Amino acid sequence: MLKLATLRSRHPEPRAVLVFADAVAARCARTGWLGEAARTFGIDAVVVDLPAGVHAAVQETQNRQRMVNPTDLT
C-alpha cells in the first residue's frame, strides 16, 4: 500500500490496484485503517478469479512464506 501510495504521489494518472486471489484477503484492503488509506490514496482492491490449481499453488506458497515472530530474543 505504501509503495502504491508513493507511486500515486508522483504519477497520479495511472490506476493503482492491489490484486487479490481471495475475497477474504481483499477485505483487509477494503476495511479498517488499511481500507481508509486505500481510499485516501485512490488505490483499488480487486479480486481476480484464478483456476483452482493456480489458487491452490498460491495458497501453498503463502503457507511456506508465513512469517513468525521469534519468541526468544536473547
Q: Model confidence over 42-66: pLDDT tens digits?
A: 999 999 999 989 989 988 988 888 7
Q: Which residues contact 47 (CB under 8 A, 6 or more apart)?
A: 19, 20, 21, 22, 23, 26
Beta strands in 3-42 (DSSP E): 16-20
Res 72: pLDDT? 72
Which of 27, 9, 60, 52 lies closest to 18 in space, CA to CA? 27
Model confidence at 25: pLDDT above 70: yes
What grid cell was written down for 70?
A: 521469534
Q: Which residues contact 1 (CB under 8 A, 6 or more apart)?
A: 18, 29, 34, 37, 38, 41, 43
Residues of the chain above pLDDT 90, percent: 49
